[in-house]
Structure 1
Amino acid sequence: MQGAIEVILRTFTAFILLWLFVMVLGKQTIAQRSYHLYIASITMGTIAGNLAFNVKVKFLYFIIAIILMGTIVFMLNWVAVQKSRIGKWIAGEPATLIQNGQILEQSMEQMGYSLQSLKQALRAKDIFNVEEVECAILETNGSLSILKKEKYQNATKQDLNLLSPTRNIPVDN
């Protein structure tokens, strides 16, 4: 019974520490917007999981590991914001895969991004023909941002002179 109580306490502690980690580092941790945040999320989850059930390792060691990892990630985020050159190295940079309607094969090769992966990402954006794309950028979080060629872009209300009155957006407080 004592072992079960220890696991319960460790699990609650792990949850609280992970929750604090996400609260301190913000929503970008959830979105894993860069390499170091992706790595940190995996590592923090592993440490927390071990804290919850690995009773052979001292409780204090897990606490030290979580605090140290959280501090490292916090410092990397701070440096990335303060120093843009270093920030590009820490967080990575977006890569252009299609420019002026042309697939940049060298850029795709450098990123390890195959033509099949590009086509799959385009289909996820409801683009089934590469010819429709003016520009495609692989963002640091792995998502693909697309600018369609002008003739394939959707018409907007402004294009059709159908401007509607401004509305307030309801926000829960």
Structure 2
Amino acid sequence: MKAFDLHRMALDKVPLDFLGEVALRSLYTFVLVFLFLKITGRRGVRQMSLFEVLIILTLGSAAGDVAFYDDVPMLPVLVVFITLALLYRFVMWLMSHSEKLEDLLEGKPVVIVENGELAWEKVHAENMTEFEFFMELRLSGVEQLGQIRLAIMETNGQISVYYFQDDEVKPGLCILPEGCSERFTEVPEAGDYVCVRCSKIVAMQKGEKQSCPRCANPEWSKASRAVRVT
């Protein structure tokens, strides 16, 4: 075999006119996936549950094979589509009658911020990192966690946010990118400092060094008291 053989890399052993068949097969599988999305009534991946994403990935695998391999017939992928569509309808019916099954397949909403503080134990138990949440919260106009009464990660990956009134905003962790707020291992002056990892607030004296009593992180930033600008 010759290395960097452009003809082999581009077509291998298939004839040039097979590319037209690939286009037809791709259109066929695109229509099947589109029809499935219409059946589920969803507008996008962010609105899908874990179970629905799994169904789409399974269908996509079958669709990919039939689109590119000349020895894979097109009718079996239609059977796959029909089977998955029926499975989806059946599982949806089962979940409407069983809360335990719904929790198993769809998951449960997770509280990520409660009373202005990251719900660290719940987030940690779910093996999730806080950074992706902070990005989502920034997109909702949140500057610091003390502005939030409650934030919930829904089963479809979206975050529902409930805010404090301006006069009820608490001091909290600034969630702007790292360069927008100073971090300290030794605090420069007395005041309230917040753990940059779990958002635990501790009153500290000038020159004090300590690890967070909640998550053992040694880095702190000044607690922000910014209110929302709407």
Aligning the two structures, in what range does the TM-score lie when normalised by the shorter sequence?
0.7 to 0.9
* Matching residue within 88, 91, 110 for 1:73: 88
**2:95 is the counterpart of 1:115:** no
The answer to whether the 8 Å contact 2:151/2:160 transfers is yes
Secondary structure, counterpart of 1:145 in structure 2 = strand
Partner of 2:49: 34
Q: Which structure carries more helix by proportion?
A: 1
1:140 Cα deviation (Å)? 0.8
**2:164 is the counterpart of 1:149:** yes
Secondary structure, counterpart of 1:88 in structure 2 = helix
Separation in structure 1 between the aligned mates of residue 111 and residue 123 of structure 2, nearest angstrom:
8
Name stretches of at least 5 consecutive residues in structure 1 with no aligned partner.
157-173
Partner of 1:136: 151
Q: Taking structure 1 as reference, are residues 29 and 144 closer, same or farther at Cα in structure 2, changes over 3 Å only?
A: closer
Name stretches of at least 5 consecutive residues in structure 2 with no aligned partner.
1-15, 170-226
Separation in structure 1 between the aligned mates of residue 43 and residue 91 of structure 2, nearest angstrom:
13
Q: Taking structure 1 as reference, are residues 13 and 116 closer, same or farther at Cα in structure 2, changes over 3 Å only?
A: closer
- Matched to 1:126, the amino acid is G
1:129 Cα deviation (Å)? 0.7
Q: Which structure has the greater CA radius of gyration? A: 2
The answer to whether the 8 Å contact 1:95/1:139 transfers is yes
Q: Taking structure 1 as reference, are residues 138 and 125 closer, same or farther at Cα in structure 2, changes over 3 Å only?
A: same
Q: What per-residue deviation string (whole Å, max 9, x for no partner) do you get for residues 112-150 of structure 1?
A: 222323322221211111111111101111111111112
1:19 Cα deviation (Å)? 2.4
Partner of 2:61: 46
Separation in structure 2 between the aligned mates of residue 29 and residue 45 of structure 1, nearest angstrom:
15
Over the aligned positions, Cα root-mean-square deviation in angstroms equals 2.7
- Matched to 1:136, the amino acid is A
Separation in structure 1 between the aligned mates of residue 20 and residue 138 of structure 2, nearest angstrom:
50
* TM-score, normalised with respect to structure 2: 0.58
Q: Tell me the number of residue pairs that the alignment of Structure 1 and Structure 2 aligns.
A: 156
Q: What per-residue deviation string (whole Å, max 9, x for no partner) do you get for residues 25-47 of structure 1?
A: 21266544210111222222232
Partner of 1:170: none
Partner of 2:211: none
- Matched to 1:70, the amino acid is A
The answer to whether the 8 Å contact 2:151/2:159 transfers is yes
Once the two structures are superposed, the pairs formed by residues 84-95 of structure 1 within 5 Å of their partners are: 84-95=99-110
* TM-score, normalised with respect to structure 1: 0.74
Q: Taking structure 1 as reference, are residues 75 and 142 closer, same or farther at Cα in structure 2, changes over 3 Å only?
A: same
Secondary structure, counterpart of 1:14 in structure 2 = helix
Q: Percent identity?
A: 22
> Is 119-128 or 63-72 further displaced after alignment?
63-72
Q: Taking structure 1 as reference, are residues 97 and 83 closer, same or farther at Cα in structure 2, changes over 3 Å only?
A: same
The answer to whether the 8 Å contact 2:143/2:228 transfers is no
The answer to whether the 8 Å contact 1:48/1:66 transfers is no
Partner of 1:159: none
**2:78 is the counterpart of 1:63:** yes
